[in-house]
Amino acid sequence: MNGKWEGATKIEHARRIFTETINELEGVPNLEVALRVYGHQSPITPTFQDCNDTKLEVPFGPNNFAAVRGFINTVECKGTTPIARSLEAAADDFPDANARNIIILITDGLEACDEFPCESARKLKEKEIAVTPFVVGLGIDLEYLKNFECIGRVYEASNLQSFEKVMKSVVIDALLATSVQINLNDIMGNPTETNTTVFLYEAGTKNLKYTFMHTLNIKNNPDTIVIIDPAMKYDVVVNTLPKAEIKGVTIYKGTHNTIKVDCPQGILSVRIKGPTKTENVNVRVTQNGQTLTLNVQSIADLQNYIVGTYDLEILTLPRIYFDDVKINQSDYTYIDIPGSGIFKYSSSKSIVGQIFLTHEGSKDEWVCDLDPAKLTDQFYLQPGFYKLVYRLKSAVSTDYTIVKPFQIMAGENTLITL
């Protein structure tokens, strides 16, 4: 805890945040706190570490908050990390086995005394001591935190801001025992979807109460949220494409709530295959049979969509359309298009004109208009046979119309001088 962490030592940050937490708890009815500290009495030497260095410094009792604050503000970090022995000792610190007894373990290191916290947790259960610790890993790597999963609920505090949030979450969870888990279910009904924002609105209103970036915890389960007010109903909006919604969700106080939202997703990517003159192409995506634009994604992007059927308009010149594109659960759907070539014209005088893609045996397809204010311009065009229909801007007769055929090949330049 003496290590530097975001501008100060961990113990300095812990003193402040722990004191703020104690201040918030003071005055809560039917609540008593105690403080057990380890690694603060005997310094480590090259040949010795005191694995019995754990002590109940402030016992349970009414109105002892000042004593807890006082000790926290003066304690020094000297010794080792006897987590297992501290847990076993803490079980005997509680004066009433019939109360709801809670341990909050804050540590910035692993067990250092060749004992096993999991074994201590097992012994507590064998003694029928109903204590499930909340483990707050202060700046500990996630892989190391997995060592504490057998003890109780694990919270990661990788930075100072998350430490503050975690402490508030732990206290709310410990006192109210109201928690929420939002399951984003795949096509099989398993909560495997994640990494999208979830909005909770007051039911029937536009009053946004909570915003979360959905996360799977270190057990690969939807993370538990403990800061939601159970006093109202909510409309839940999951910001997938398209969004998924559940209205009028009730959060029950004093229990663990699970909100299930079906939002199975797959991945869409449109790729350019072969040589090209530009990769700056956008793709307009709509739900099958609908006209409203759902999303515009760039070429080669990987974008999640709810499982279903979609229509694509690829904003090349000319446009390329794909209908009935299937998105399947967790699968990649790739749409490949040819690369573009460059068509460039130059003229000594202003002209008006249009470019058409010619189709053998069918009508020509309009591609774009020329800008009469420009004497030269260029366009990225898809491979094919084209014609440029133009006349001098100053000409007053249609007899001056000129048709120039040309071909575009992927990755190549085509220049016409008019």
Residue 294 sits in which domain range? 265-338
CB atoms within 10 A of CB 206: 7
Same structural domain, 270 and 141? no
Summarised one tens digit per residue, pLDDT across range 86-129 is: 888 887 888 876 677 778 877 776 777 866 667 776 666 665 55
pLDDT value of residue 126: 63
Residue where a domain stops, chosen among 322, 338, 354: 338
DSSP strands (E only) in 139-281: 153-157, 179-185, 197-202, 208-213, 224-225, 233-238, 244-250, 256-262, 265-273
pLDDT value of residue 136: 66
* Secondary structure (H, E, C), 88-124: HHHHCCCCCCCCCCCCEEEECCCCCCCCCHHHHHHHH
pLDDT value of residue 373: 95
Average pLDDT value for residue range 245-273 = 93
Number of structural domains the chain divides into? 4
Same structural domain, 190 and 131? no
pTM: 0.66
The distance from CA 127 to its chain's CA centroid, rounded to whole angstroms, is 41
Summarised one tens digit per residue, pLDDT across range 70-84 is: 998 888 888 888 888
**What's the CATH number where 334 sits?**
2.60.40
Average pLDDT value for residue range 34-38 = 92
pLDDT value of residue 228: 81
The length of the chain in residues reads 418
pLDDT value of residue 134: 62
Same structural domain, 22 and 128? yes
- Asked if pLDDT for residue 245 goes beyond 90, the answer is yes
Average model confidence (pLDDT) for the chain?
87
Q: With bands split at pLDDT 50, 70 and 90, how would you rate the model's confidence at 138?
A: low
Same structural domain, 37 and 184? no
DSSP state of 266: E
Closest to 250 (Cα-Cα) out of 237, 259, 241:
259
Same structural domain, 12 and 158? yes
Average pLDDT value for residue range 191-200 = 97
Same structural domain, 16 and 154? yes
Residue where a domain stops, chosen among 175, 209, 234: 175
Same structural domain, 34 and 143? yes
Residue where a domain stops, chosen among 262, 292, 323: 262
- Asked if pLDDT for residue 130 goes beyond 50, the answer is no
Same structural domain, 41 and 117? yes
**What's the CATH number where 255 sits?**
2.60.40.1120
Same structural domain, 190 and 159? no
Same structural domain, 257 and 384? no
Summarised one tens digit per residue, pLDDT across range 153-191 is: 676 777 778 777 777 777 766 665 678 999 999 999 999
Same structural domain, 58 and 193? no
Summarised one tens digit per residue, pLDDT across range 363-416 is: 999 999 999 999 999 999 999 999 999 999 999 899 999 999 999 999 999 999
**Between vectors from CA 402 to CA 397 and to CA 404, what angle results, nearest 5°?**
165
Q: With bands split at pLDDT 50, 70 and 90, how would you rate the model's confidence at 224?
A: confident
**What's the CATH number where 24 sits?**
3.40.50.410
Same structural domain, 189 and 334? no
Which of 57-61, 85-89, 135-139, 244-248 has the lowest average pLDDT?
A: 135-139
Closest to 185 (Cα-Cα) out of 334, 319, 329:
329
